[in-house]
Structure 1
Amino acid sequence: MTMHFSVLASGSTGNAFFVETEDQSFLVDAGLSGKAMEALFQDIGRDMSKLSGILVTHEHSDHIKGLGVVARKHKLPIYANAKTWNAMERSIGEIANEQKFTFEMEQVKTFGSLDIESFGVSHDAAEPMFYVFHHGDKKLVVITDTGYVSDRMKGIISNADAYVFESNHDVSMLRMGKYPWSIKRRILSDVGHVCNEDAALAMSEVAGDKTKRIYLAHLSLDNNMKDLARMSVEQTLKTKGIIVGEQFSLYDTDPKRPTELVTL
């Protein structure tokens, strides 16, 4: 039994993630234009019309920008919790009732060979949640857009084979940067985004014997850089006795280009 995945796009300008098994395939968020989403699927050699559905994490525009367009064009089911549905319906346009499905927080839904578990995060949205994918003995976690990683979250996401993990900002860059203080305060808050060092500390607690790949995701265009994020995470992990490349490897993500389609 195998599971394939690609981080199609990740960053403050748009987010999308693809996962498939032998009999199922899902898109998590559609935060780029419909045209850009189609191009990303071409890049990984997949057909968007064959998706089993789209899972929504929350209603912020960098996660739902192309959702309505893509879902209507390909008549795809959309799964989101009730509060997220209420928060995003005006933004995504009219969706046929037969395409609307509710997936509440702290639930597990089974789609053929794939079990999908939802869990709540701490972010300034209506009811933000992310997903754990279980396929046979394989476990894949997507967790971004959270101000911190709680013990409850750590329990749910521990010892996955692979993680797509938020490493949003460098605190010094953010503090010195051009953003107004109100936005800086929001990002730094418990309902904002995880910084590089805090991401690494959480990784050190959840990574287990199975863990082989961690993708640094949702990097801020203004307050982070790929090399800086990687260096900060590696250094912080080293203080916890974890040497990157020995237990697991770190991978970059990009706001416009998909990662290689990987097999777990």
Structure 2
Amino acid sequence: MTKKHKILMDAGLSGKKTKELLAKVGVDISQIDMVFLSHDHSDHSGGLGVLMRRYPQINAFANSGTWDYLLETGKIGKLPAQQINVIEPDQTQIFDDLEVTAFATSHDAAQPQYYVFGNEGKRMVFLTDTGYVSEKVAKTIEDADAYMMEFNYDTMMLREGPYSWALKQRILSDLGHLSNEQAGQALVDIVTKRTKQIFLSHLSRHNNTEYLAKDTAWEMLEHGDADVSSDLNITMTEPDDPTDLTEI
């Protein structure tokens, strides 16, 4: 949130669950005025239609490919046209005290993208659901104050786990998700002493553990060439429990 805006990144949970989790950190859902959508998969978009219809103050943002897919399929119901806003990859838009830059990611969705949010000289990056981090993306997101980064799977756990081989191939592909090692290497490439907060997210319940994700992040940052601040903090996030509000 900024002084003028309260923002949701994605809306995969039900409207009721979203309201409950926001209340736990002292935010009234009626104060949310912007939602930025990364892609059309239901765990990221499933609750958006309800939020838009129930809370008319919410302006929702996604790229044209994502909107076209959601509107054509009707997967989240009829959406109020006046609340639909477009931001395309590589675009930067400014909303009062909020600057938002969108960047394309690599995932098996209609047109996936994530965002860099800027306010009063501070930058926070959200990046999950991508099979790899390209040089172009790394350049866009480097030197931020905070990151929410996908640490989806431990490679050995995934390979030896219960998923079908087809699903394993999908996750391991360039259109899948980031492993602990891939995410850790991305952080090595982009983190600077400016970075004070890293939030690990989108952990697989079957193919990862909090210990493995966090240990990999720390080990790669400490032994890589990253210029890491001594007060860098790495925080785990939970899909069904809110993380305490943190001032960036």
Provide the TM-score with structure 1 as the length reference.
0.89
Deviations 1:163-208 (A, max 9, x none): 0011110000000011000100010001100000111111011001
Q: Which has the higher contact order (CA 8 A, sep 6+)?
A: 1
- Give the equivalent residue in structure 2 for 1:27: 8
Unaligned runs of 5+ in 2: none
CA distance in 1, matches of 2:31, 2:16: 17
Secondary structure, aligned partner of 1:109: strand
Kindly provide the amino acid, as one letter, of the partner of residue 135 in structure 1. N
CA distance in 1, matches of 2:60, 2:226: 39
Moved over 4 A (4+): 241-245
Aligned-pair distance for 1:237?
Answer: 2.2
- Give the equivalent residue in structure 1 for 2:95: 111
Aligned-pair distance for 1:244?
Answer: 7.4
Kindly provide the amino acid, as one letter, of the partner of residue 129 in structure 1. Q
Q: Out of 99, 102, 120, which is 2:83 matched to?
A: 99
Kindly provide the amino acid, as one letter, of the partner of residue 35 in structure 1. K
Aligned-pair distance for 1:99?
Answer: 1.1
Kindly provide the amino acid, as one letter, of the partner of residue 224 in structure 1. N
Kindly provide the amino acid, as one letter, of the partner of residue 82 in structure 1. S
Unaligned runs of 5+ in 1: 1-19
Q: Out of 168, 171, 176, which is 2:152 matched to?
A: 168
- Contact 1:204–1:242 under 8 Å retained in 2: yes
- Give the equivalent residue in structure 2 for 1:202: 186
Q: Matches of residues 115-194 of structure 1 in structure 2 within 5 Å?
A: 115-194=99-178
Aligned: 1:49 with 2:11: no
CA distance in 2, matches of 1:87, 1:47: 30
Q: Out of 51, 58, 63, which is 1:70 matched to?
A: 51
Kindly provide the amino acid, as one letter, of the partner of residue 123 in structure 1. H
**Identical pairs, percent:** 40
- Contact 1:244–1:250 under 8 Å retained in 2: no
Secondary structure, aligned partner of 2:200: strand
CA distance in 2, matches of 1:112, 1:81: 21
CA distance in 2, matches of 1:123, 1:97: 27
- Contact 1:234–1:243 under 8 Å retained in 2: no
- Contact 2:153–2:208 under 8 Å retained in 1: yes
Deviations 1:13-56 (A, max 9, x none): xxxxxxx1011111111111111111011011112122222111
- Contact 1:27–1:54 under 8 Å retained in 2: yes
Aligned-CA RMSD value = 1.4
